[in-house]
Amino acid sequence: MSTKTTDAPVDTHSSGASRARPTWPLHLLAIVVAGLVGGTIAYSFLSESLAALGIPDPGAVTTYGLPFFRAVAWMLAALSIGSFMFSAFYISPSVPDGDNTRLNSATLTVDGHLAARTGAVSALLFGLIGLLMIPLVLSDTSGTPLTGVLNPSAIAVALEQVATSQAWLVCALIAGVVGAVGLALRTWPSQPVLLLGAIGMIVPLGMEGHAASGGSHDYGTNAYLWHLVFMAVWIGGLMALIAHARRLGPDLETAVRRYSAVAFFAIAAVAVSGLVSMIIRIELSDLFTTRYGLIIVAKIAGTLILGLVGLAHRWLTIPQLNTDPRAFTRLAIGEVVIMAAVAGIAITMGRTPPPPPRDPNLSPMQIQMGYNLYEAPTFFNVWTIWRFDVMFASIAILLAVFYLWALWRVKKAGKDWPVSRTVWWLLGCVSLALIMSSGIGMHIPASYSMHMVGHMLLSMVVPLFLAMGGPLGLIMTAWDSGEPGKPNVHDWAYAFTRTRFLRLLTIPWVNLLQFLIVFYVLYLFIPLYDLAISEHAGHLIMNFLFLISGYFYFWELVGPDPIPGRAPTTIRLVWLVVSMPIHLILGVYLMQLNVIMGEEFYRSLELPWDPDLLADQKSGGGIAWAFGSFPLTFVFMLMLVWWRREERVVEAKIDADFDEAALKRERRAAAKAGAAATSGTDERPGPSTSTAAGAQAQAAEDEEEELDEFEAYNRMLQRYNEGEGGSISDYYNRGFPDQK
C-alpha cells in the first residue's frame, strides 16, 4: 500500500519534519568522501606501487588525483544509475487517466523529473571526469607529470596505445549521450532505456585493470562486471531514495519496498562476485600480510557493516515509515557515507599491485583466455571438461529461478500455465549453462570451428528454447495489473510489448534483417572479427549479441508471448522460407574463403595440437552451412502445423457461414412460396406493372442473398490479414469474435 509521507503522522518535536530539504549537499559529501578515501589510501601506498610498476613518480597531482577522480566518477555513475532506476521503476509516473495500459504515454511526475535530471547531470559530470582521466592515466602509466601530457600529441598516444585511456573515452562518449538525452526527454518509456545506458557507461571500466589480465582473467573480468554493476545499483539506488525522502516525495513506502528487494539481491551479488575475485587473486595467507590483502579485508569489513545496516532498516526503520519516516532517512544517510568509504577503498585496488601470481609461468593460453586446453575438441571430449562460466551460467541460473518463482505465483493464484512453456524455458536455461561451462564454451575462443559451433548454439538453439517459454506472458499472468495510475511488473511487461521499438522489430523483414546483420557482418569484415576475438570484452559482446539477436528473431516467429500487430502465420512462414537459403550462403562463403580470420590471435595461443587454421576455418563454414538448417527446419514444420490449424479454423468458419446463408435462402424461398399460395386469388396489378415490380423484388432478393453469402467471408479475410496475432491461442480466441 502506497503512503504519502506528507500525509503520514510524523514526529512534531522534530523541527522541519514537514519541510522538504535539498539533497545535493549529501550527494556532494558522499562523492568527496569516496574521493578522499581512495586518494589517501592510494597515495599512502605510492612507493610500493611505483616499485612494482617500475615507473618514476609522475607527481602528486597524478598519484593522488587519479584515484580521487576515479572514485568521484564511480560515485557519479552510481548516482546516475540509481536516479534513472528510481524514475523508471521505484515511483509511478503520471499515467493518462490512471489507465495503466497507457503507460507508454505516461510522463514523469515532478519527483520523477527531479530524479531523471539528477541522473542526467550525474552522467554528464561522469563524462567530463572520463575525459580528464585520459591524460591522468597516460601520466600515471608513463611516469610523466600531468603537465607534460596535456598536449594533442600525448593525448593521441594515450588513445592509440593505452587501453585504460581508451576505456575512459568510451565511457565519456556513452555518458555524454545518456546525459544529453536524459535532459531532453521527460517521458516514462525513455527512463528504462536511460537506465541501461547509465549501466553501459561503466561497463568498459570492468574490462580493464587487474581483473582483465593474468591467469583466470575470464573469471576475474566477469566477476568484476557483476561486482561493479550491482555495487552501483545498490549505492545509487539508496542515494536516489534519500533524495526522494528528503523532498517529501509521495509513495515512499512503495519506493522503499521495491528498492529493498533490489538491494537484497545486489548485496548478495556484490558479496559472491567479490569472493570469486578474491579467491583467484590472492591466497588466504596474503590477506593480512600484503597491502592488497589488507585493502580486501577493509572492503569486506565495510560490506559486512553495510549488511548489518540493511538489516537494521528491514527490522527497525522500514516498519516505522508511516509514523517516523525521518528515522529511515537518518540511518540511510549514514549508510551512504559508509558506502562511499567502501567505494573509495575499492578504487585503491586498481592502484595497488596484487601479490605475485601463484604460477608466474603462465602459458600463452592462460594469458589470452585465462585457462589451458590440452587436446583438440571432439564430439565426446567436450563433455569431459568443465569450467563454470561466471557470466552466462550465472545468467542462466537467475533466469531459471525467476521463471520458477513467477510460475509459483501463478500456481498460488490458482491460474493455469502451459507445462510445455516451462519445459522450453528451462531447457533453454540448462542449454545455456551447459554450453558455456562445458568444453564447448572453453573451446569457443580457441578455434574458429568451435567459435562457429558456439555461434550456432547461442543464436539458433538457446534463443529458440527461451522464446518458446513465453516469459512476458508468464509475468503478466503471475502479477495482476497495479492500482490505477500505479503501474507494477505486469504493466511494465505489457508496456514493453507495446513499444515502438518492438513494433518495428516485429515487422518480419526488419526482424530478419537484424538477425542477418549480426550473423553476417562479423564474418564479412575480417578486421572486425580479428578485433572481437582478441579481447575478452569482444567475446562477451559477441555472445550477448548472438543471444539477443537470436531471441528476438525466434520470438517474433514462434514465441507465444502476446505481440500486437504480429504478422499472420502465412506471412511469417513466407519470410522464413525466404530466409532459409540466405542462412546457408554464409557457410558456402566461409568454406570458399582462403583468408584465415583471426590468424594472429589463434597462432598466439600455441595450442598443443597445432591445428591447421585454414582447414579449421573451412570446417567452421561447413558447420554454419549444415547446422543452421536443423533449427530452421524445426521452426518451419512448427509454423506449417500452426498454419494448417489456422486454415482449418478459417475453413470451418466459412463453411458455417455458407451453411447459414443457405438456410436463410431456404427459409426465404419457403416464405415466398407460402405468400404466393395465399395471395393467388387476390387481385393483381396490370401486366407491365407486375413484371417490373417482380423484377425489382427478385433483384433485391438476389443481392441480399449474395451479401449474406459473402459478407462473413469478406470480414473473415479482412480480420485474417489485419488481425491480432499474438499467439495461436490469442489468434483463436480474439481473432474472430465478432463473426459468430
Angle (CA) 30 35 38, round 5°:
120
Question: What integer pLDDT is reported at residue 95 of this predicted model?
Answer: 93
Q: 94 forms bridges with which residues in the sheet?
A: 107
Q: Could you read off the pLDDT of 26-41 as tens digits, one per residue?
A: 889 989 999 898 888 8
CA proximity to 504, closest of 467, 552, 468, 462: 552
pLDDT tens string 441-483: 999 999 999 999 999 999 999 999 999 999 999 999 999 999 9
573, 639 in Cβ contact below 8 A? yes
pLDDT tens digits, 585-612: 777 888 888 888 989 999 999 999 989 9
In angstroms, the Cα distances linking 78 to 29, 75, 140 are: 14, 5, 25
Side-chain half-sphere of 391: how many Cα atoms within 13 Å? 19
Residue 390 has φ and ψ, to the nearest 5°, of -65, -30
Q: Summarize pLDDT for 48-88 with one digit per residue, the tens.
A: 666 556 667 788 888 888 889 999 999 999 999 999 999 99
Residue 641 is predicted with a pLDDT of 82
Where in the chain are the domains? 28-359, 387-627, 651-671+691-739
CB atoms near residue 504 (< 10 Å): 11
Q: What pLDDT was estimated at residue 413?
A: 92
For 425, the 3-state DSSP assignment is: helix
The answer, yes or no, to whether residue 508 has pLDDT greater than 50, is yes
Phi and psi for 306 in degrees, rounded to 5? Answer: -65, -35
Please, which residues bridge with residue 386 across strands? Answer: 438
Residue 275 pLDDT > 70, yes or no? yes
The residue among 236, 230, 238 whose CA lies nearest residue 256 is: 238
Residue 227, exposed/middle/buried by CB under 10 A (0-12, 13-18, 19+)? buried
Q: What is the pLDDT of residues 212-268, one digit of tens each?
A: 455 677 888 888 899 899 999 999 999 999 888 888 888 888 888 899 889 889 988
Min mean pLDDT across 325-329, 449-453, 583-587, 728-732 is at: 728-732
18-27, 279-288, 478-487, 714-723: which range is least confident on average?
714-723
Bigger pLDDT: 523 vs 704: 523
Q: Is-contact 263 105, C-beta < 8 A?
A: no
CA–CA separation, 233 vs 245, rounded Å?
Answer: 18
Decide if pLDDT at 13 tops 50: no
Residue 697 has pLDDT above 90, yes or no: no
Give the pLDDT confidence score for residue 719 in this predicted structure.
56
Q: Residues 437, 386: contact at Cβ < 8 Å?
A: yes
